[in-house]
Structure 1
Amino acid sequence: KEVYSIAWSPDGKQIATGSQDKTIRLWDMTGNVLHTMEGHTDIVSCLAWSSRGSRLASGSWDHTVRFWNPRTGRGGPVLKGHTYRVFDLEWHPEGTTLASAGDRSLRLWTLDGTPIRTVKTENSYINTLAWKHDGNEIVTGTQHDSVLRIVNVEGNADRAIGENLDGGAARIAWHPKGNQIAVGCRDKFTRLFTEDGRPGAILARHYYHVRALDWSPDGERLATSGDALLRIWNRQGVLLSETKESEKGNTALDWSPDGTAIAVVSLDGTARVYSAEGKKQTEIKLPQVAKDVAWGPDSQQFATMTNEQVQLWQRDGTPGPVLPNPPPSLVTMDWNFKKGQIAAGGWSRQYQTWNGKGEAGTSEKAAQSILDIAFSPDGERVAMAWFNNNLAFANADGSD
């Protein structure tokens, strides 16, 4: 069965995967399954660990978000309200609120699964979201709307920014200091905005929509891709380097927590590690084309996710364990640095967690397919973008 979602635990000791078979699995770093969690009734499309690793949230095509206890594998509250697939999850930085998205709405949830807010979008499902560093706001993007929406977690006035985003947003990244937003657009440009919505630089056009971008941890550089090029920019939008190692497009990238390396996965079936200056350091041939990549908290290992499996790798390319029995049809994964766990989810509405050793943890079922998932900076909450245009929030560990 295909894996749809993956996420590391914050402490890097577990990985969670969500699968087409409606289950979530937690793995240790040796590839042992710790828990197989059942409850979702469709694909687990996204996963998110709380910052402390005490909760795992899953989003699913079954229109629900579920909380799980990674230590026991037991399920907690089932969050209902979405009317279509859940695409993305992300936690508040302090772990007190979960955001979920998918059915043309963003939803915020308390730790006990109580809905806080629902924010509707007009024309399209939310496919990407990002927390502000202080956890007070979330920015969301859709495939077809021409604006971004910034949602205030406490229910104060929301606002739209970025008018005339031709083709909508493919990926969003909020600057680590919260004063700048980078948007990878489907018109192949990358656009920078201030947090109050004033437009900044428009970066040179890629040859495909910009589906991969990430700020360096210090916020001084931005990496972008989507075609065969890896570009690194300063925060003013000046191009610092451009690298091409593949004839096919790159699907995802992730900046290491220590800021010294960028991991990139490509449609040519490889994973590559680059220096912060864009020099290739490692190249790995993967068994399948990878859809996502995520560094562990120690910056010495990373995980790659294909449709069907999740595997750990050392920074030098030494292979680690392949996590057994992953959920099917993976779309997104996230590594919870605070808890050392991986969570993954996707079209199956299921998500799975593992510890940093590759041992399986909890498995959850969401109400909708999960397009994107993100932990809050403190790892306690997760926000999910669901296929039904909802943004949902939940506690990461599934506790009441």
Structure 2
Amino acid sequence: MWETAIDDIYDWWSDALAVSSNGQFLAIGGNHLSVFKVQDGRLAWQEDLNGATIAVRFSPSATRLVVLTRTPLNADAVVSVFDAQTGWPACKSEHWHVERACFSPDGKTVAAATSSGDLSVHRAEDGSLQWQTGALYGWRVETLSFSPDGSRIVAIASDGDKVRVLVFAAEDGQPLTETVSDAESATLAFGPAGEIVVAFYARNRSVIRVCYPEADRAFEVPFEAEVKDLQLSPDATLLAVTTWSGNILVYSARDGRLRWVRVGLGRSGSMTWSPDGTVLAVWNEERLALWESEDGRLRWQVGLEGVPQALAFSPVSPLVAVALLDHLQVFDAAKGVSCCDVTLNHIVEPLVFSPDGARLAVGGIPGFCEFAVRDGRPLRQVKPESAVYSLSYSPDGSRLMVIGDFGLQMWDVPGVAE
């Protein structure tokens, strides 16, 4: 038996203490990280962490010690890995809060962007860092995506006055192309051959600009109204625009020709395309309407009890889901008939179907839930003491990536074989 005095432990963080699996070492975190030999209590090594310890964990083999700390200003989260016996640093990764992340098409890697503009790529299996760049430092990443073949990563970032589109090699992070535009918002899609297409809205110039960065080609469409949202279709052939005055306009993304317009629909809200690009779902004045993308014909519309926070189409079946403030509704996209209505006890925002269309993940404040699409049966509910603002399934549906105030978490999906 032995005891020792440590004066900087934060006793409200029980996770700041860990014992190695072989029973040889005890790690205690505070402003310093102290590792003791369990047998006699002797200090094996100590490290100044320059921040408050949130958690310490030994690897299953007891050879590595992982430490998560936060600076006094509570802005940066720092992950450090040490050799458990010697205290020699193995690696250190400093991140601000992760705000955007996406899976590669094969699901083996994850690209993540932080609030500081750092962009990094990690193995999806264990989170190990493959490469990192500060090329977007000081810019807020709004959109992040792998190309369909997984060879490139496209990041769209904004500083409020300008929008940057950067393309990186997915393998090593080498910058390939960069486009800068005086714009307030932008939307990204990939063409049939994998070409990158980006549409910008520049209010100060009253234009919408469609750009093909890798082909060095662009054109502009005059646009006097205030844009609420703009979305390229999944195949990058159409561009849908909603205005604050309640209009919907659909253009050809190849030449800027106006395909159809609907006016006077009321206050605009969320908008999303079906996976095949044949239908556009738009919310206006507490109504959800589905429009045929070819000619703007109204397929159906229904009244909604509340303000939609998010819309999502099923990737495999004709279903569209609507996340309202405190409940979730699923409609038959062909007929507009309600298939499922689930009441939730928290604020809802992110919404995503699993790749097989069987599950629906809903995030918000606090935590996230998963439901069976067929009958609305709850499958899982997780309530961390913070908001969840992004959810995405891996391409094979075996993992669910969750982003919130706590950072990025990867959850296994029960019953899905990798």
> Do these two structures clear the TM 0.5 threshold for a shared fold by scoring above it?
yes
Query: Secondary structure of 1:120's match?
Result: strand
Shift of 1:229: 1.1
CA contact 1:22–1:39 (8 Å) conserved in 2: no
Shift of 1:61: 0.7
Which of 298, 323, 327 is the aligned partner of 2:356?
Answer: 298
- Give the aligned partner of residue 283 of structure 1: 341
Structure 2 portions without partners, runs of 5+: 1-73, 79-91
CA contact 1:333–1:343 (8 Å) conserved in 2: yes
Q: Which amino acid aligns with 1:166?
A: A
Distance in 2 between residues matched to 1:140 and 1:344, nearest whole Å: 28
Shift of 1:106: 1.1
Which of 252, 270, 289 is the aligned partner of 1:194?
Answer: 252
Classify 1:191/1:307 alpha carbon distance in 2 versus 1 (closer, same or farther; 3 Å). Answer: farther
Which of 118, 135, 139 is the aligned partner of 2:178?
Answer: 118
Distance in 2 between residues matched to 1:349 and 1:60, nearest whole Å: 12
- Give the aligned partner of residue 273 of structure 1: 330
2:289 is aligned with 1:231: yes
Structure with bigger gyration radius? 2
2:155 is aligned with 1:95: no
Classify 1:175/1:128 alpha carbon distance in 2 versus 1 (closer, same or farther; 3 Å). Answer: closer
CA contact 2:361–2:391 (8 Å) conserved in 1: no
Distance in 1 between residues matched to 2:340 and 2:75, nearest whole Å: 33
Shift of 1:175: 4.3
Distance in 2 between residues matched to 1:23 and 1:299, nearest whole Å: 35
- Give the aligned partner of residue 6 of structure 1: none
- Give the aligned partner of residue 45 of structure 2: none
Distance in 2 between residues matched to 1:23 and 1:341, nearest whole Å: 24
Structure 1 portions without partners, runs of 5+: 1-19, 25-37, 360-400
Q: Which amino acid aligns with 1:319?
A: P
Distance in 1 between residues matched to 2:391 and 2:284, nearest whole Å: 18
The alignment's TM-score, normalised by the length of structure 1, stands at 0.71
Q: Which amino acid aligns with 1:179?
A: T
1:154-194, Cα deviation, whole Å (9 max, x unpaired): x2223144431622352414144x43222344443222111
CA contact 1:223–1:231 (8 Å) conserved in 2: yes
CA contact 1:85–1:102 (8 Å) conserved in 2: yes
Q: Which amino acid aligns with 1:98?
A: I
| Equivalences for residues 1-400 of structure 1 within 5 A | 39=93, 41-82=95-136, 83-103=138-158, 104-111=163-170, 112-124=172-184, 126=185, 128-142=187-201, 144=203, 146-153=206-213, 155-164=214-223, 166-176=225-235, 178-196=236-254, 197-215=256-274, 217-225=275-283, 227-235=285-293, 236-246=295-305, 248-267=306-325, 269-276=326-333, 277-315=335-373, 316-323=375-382, 325=384, 329-338=387-396, 340-345=398-403, 350-357=407-414
State percent identity of aligned pairs.
17
Distance in 2 between residues matched to 1:101 and 1:65, nearest whole Å: 11
Query: Secondary structure of 1:281's match?
Result: strand
Classify 1:186/1:49 alpha carbon distance in 2 versus 1 (closer, same or farther; 3 Å). Answer: farther
CA contact 2:209–2:218 (8 Å) conserved in 1: yes
Distance in 1 between residues matched to 2:284 and 2:130, nearest whole Å: 37
CA contact 2:115–2:140 (8 Å) conserved in 1: yes
Task: List 4+ stretches of structure 1 deviating above 6 A.
Answer: 20-24
CA contact 1:42–1:349 (8 Å) conserved in 2: no
Query: Secondary structure of 1:259's match?
Result: coil
Classify 1:129/1:280 alpha carbon distance in 2 versus 1 (closer, same or farther; 3 Å). Answer: same
Q: Which amino acid aligns with 1:73?
A: G
Shift of 1:258: 1.8
Classify 1:23/1:322 alpha carbon distance in 2 versus 1 (closer, same or farther; 3 Å). Answer: farther
Shift of 1:336: 4.1
Distance in 1 between residues matched to 2:142 and 2:351, nearest whole Å: 17
Shift of 1:350: 4.5
Distance in 1 between residues matched to 2:166 and 2:245, nearest whole Å: 28
Shift of 1:257: 1.2
1:238-264, Cα deviation, whole Å (9 max, x unpaired): 111110131x22121111112321111
Query: Which 10-residue stretch deviates more, 91-100 or 301-310?
Result: 301-310
Classify 1:123/1:255 alpha carbon distance in 2 versus 1 (closer, same or farther; 3 Å). Answer: closer
